[in-house]
Amino acid sequence: MTKSELINAVHDRAAEAGIELTKKATGEILDMTFDVIAGAIDHERRFSYPQFGTFTVKHRKAREGRNPRTGKPIKIPASYTVSFKPAPSLKDKVN
């Protein structure tokens, strides 16, 4: 699903619920929502939404990899990444 498809889907659901929003306002609300979620993940190192799942910050250790073009070993530095664990109800919907 693309961003525009998400905006259209949320706009349509809002209209079904009797909430009048323009598509521009819907897009701005979604942008703000994702900004708040990203801020929570950055500051609190986790964000949990019931019935959906939990985003957490994970630390990756430094490791050795290979340059796919040359095959030479390279050092990959330690880094942080975001991990997602789906809630059981979301997992059931996917199956």
Looking at the predicted structure, is the pLDDT value of residue 95 above 90? no
CB 14 within 8 A of CB 23: no
Average pLDDT over residues 10-16: 96
For the chain, what are the domain ranges? Answer: 1-44, 45-95
93 three-state secondary structure: helix
Kindly state which CATH superfamily the domain 45-95 is placed in: IHF-like DNA-binding proteins (4.10.520.10)
Compute φ and ψ for 50, nearest 5 degrees: -55, 145
CB 26 within 8 A of CB 14: yes
**Alpha carbon distance 68, 2 (integer Å):** 30
Q: What is the pTM assigned to this prediction?
A: 0.78
Q: Which amino acid is at 53?
A: G
CB 21 within 8 A of CB 5: no
CB 53 within 8 A of CB 90: yes
Average pLDDT over residues 31-46: 96
